[in-house]
Amino acid sequence: MRFRLTDDQAALRAGVRELLERRFGRQALRAAVDAPGRLDRVLWRALGEAGFFALRLPERDGGVGLGLPEAVLVFEEAGRALLPGPLLATHLAAGTVPGAASGETVVAAVDGELVEWLDAADAVRGDASGAVALRSVDPLTPLHRVTAPPGAAAVPRGPIAVPPGPEAVPTGPVAAPPDAVSVPSGPVAVPPDPVAAPPDPVAVLLTAAEQLGTAGRVCELAVEHARARQQFGRPIGAFQAVQHLCADLLVRAETARAAVYAAAVTADPADIAAARLLADEAAVQGARDCLQVHGGMGFTWEADVHLHLKRAWVRARRGGGSAHGAELLAAALAG
C-alpha cells in the first residue's frame, strides 16, 4: 500500500522539521544530554505556540483542528530529532489541563508502573503517589517507578499526590486529614489495580510514530557513515555485509511507515497494535544495526547513535510494551 501525503501534510512535516532543526539542533540535544531531568521551558512554549500540543484540539476550543494522521507526522519528526520531555502526555492533556495546549503546563502521566519526566511536570495524570526515582538507560528521559509491594496500603502522601482517575492535578504537597494515621517517611507503596486499564490506542500509535522517526533517522545515519567512512581504500558501503545492514534498515523502516500511516487512517486497535510492533522493531533493531555500521566509534559518547538506541528502548516500554500489542493483535486475528 502506498500513502501519498497531501500538500498540506507535506508542508506540515517540512515545517515541523525546520522548526526542530532551528530550535533543537545537535548543540541543543547535547545540552539536554548534559543536563538530564531539566526541561527547556522556552522550547516547550515554542512548541505550544507552533500548535504541537493543540494539533488535534478543535478550532472552536483554540486548537489547530487537525486529525490523527497529521499528529503521526508531527510525532515522527519529534522522534527523529530526539525531542525530550513528556510530549505525549502533554499532547493528550490539551483541552483538559489548563495551559497544556499552549505549552505553559508540562503534563506527565502514569503508565503502568512508570512515570516519565515526573520531576519536570507541573501536573500528573493518574496516581503517582508512590513514584520513586528509577535510573534510566536514556539520559534524556528520566523515569520514575510506582512501587507496590504485596499487601501494602495506599497512603495519599508525598511530593506528588494524585487521586485515582484520568484527571490531572497540579503537583505539590497534600495535607493529611485530621484523622489520618501517621506513617514513617519514605516512598509510598501503592498496590496495583486488580485489572489494569488498557493503554490508550492514540498514545500507542503516537509512540509508534516516534519510533518510526528514530527508525528513519538511524537509517540515514548509517547510510551517511557508510558512504563517508573509508576502509582498505574504499567506502565501507561498498562491502556487501554493510550494504545488507543498510538495506535491512530501510526495509524495516518503510514497512513500519506503511503500517503506522495506515493505522492513523483506520484508527483500528488491531492496526495500531501491528503498527506499534513493527515500529518498535524498526527503531530498536535499526539503532542496533546503525551502531554496527558505525563500528567502534558508534559506542562512543560523542556519537548520537547510542542516544537513539536508548530512547527506542524507553519508548518500547510504554503502554504495556510489545506483549500487550502482540496479545491484542493475536486476539483480533483469532476472532
Domain spans in the chain, listed from the N-terminal domain onward: 1-173+187-193, 201-334
CA distances, 239 to each of 112, 185, 234, 243, 247 (Å): 45, 61, 9, 6, 12
Among residues of the chain, what percentage have pLDDT more than 90?
A: 62
Identify the pLDDT of residue 101. Answer: 95
Residue 249 has pLDDT above 80, yes or no: yes
Mean pLDDT of 33-52: 93
pTM for the whole thing? Answer: 0.83
Distant-in-sequence, close-in-space partners of 240: CB < 8 Å, separation ≥ 6: none
Decide if pLDDT at 162 tops 70.
no
What is the pLDDT confidence band of residue 225, given thresholds at 50, 70 and 90?
very high
pLDDT for 148 beyond 90: no
Band (pLDDT 50/70/90 cuts) for residue 2 is low
Please tell me which residue, 149 or 293, carries the higher pLDDT value.
Answer: 293
Res 203 pLDDT > 90: yes
Q: pLDDT at residue 165 above 70? A: no
| HEC letters along 12-81 | HHHHHHHHHHHHCCHHHHHHHHHCCCCCCHHHHHHHHHCCCCCCCCCHHHCCCCCCHHHHHHHHHHHHHH
Ramachandran class of 319: left when φ > 0, alpha when ψ lies in -120 to 50, beta otherwise: left
Q: Grade residue 147 by pLDDT with cuts at 50, 70 and 90.
A: low
For 107, phi then psi, to 5°, come to: -115, 130
- Whether the predicted pLDDT of 209 surpasses 50: yes
**Percentage of the chain exceeding pLDDT 70:** 82
Three-point CA angle 83, 88, 94, nearest 5°: 120
pLDDT for the residue numbered 322? 77
Mean pLDDT value of segment 136-159? 58
Per-residue pLDDT tens for 90-128?
999 999 999 999 999 999 999 888 899 998 999 998 877
51-88 pLDDT tens trace: 999 999 999 999 999 999 999 999 999 999 999 999 99
Region 298-323 average pLDDT: 89
Query: Taking the domain 1-173+187-193, which CATH number applies?
Result: 1.10.540.10
Q: Tally Cβ neighbours within 10 Å of residue 156.
A: 17
Mean pLDDT of the chain: 84
Q: What is the pLDDT of residue 302?
A: 87
Q: CATH class for domain 201-334? A: mainly alpha
Residue whose entry in the numeric block shows the C-alpha cell 483538559: 96
Beta bridge partners of 115: 110, 144
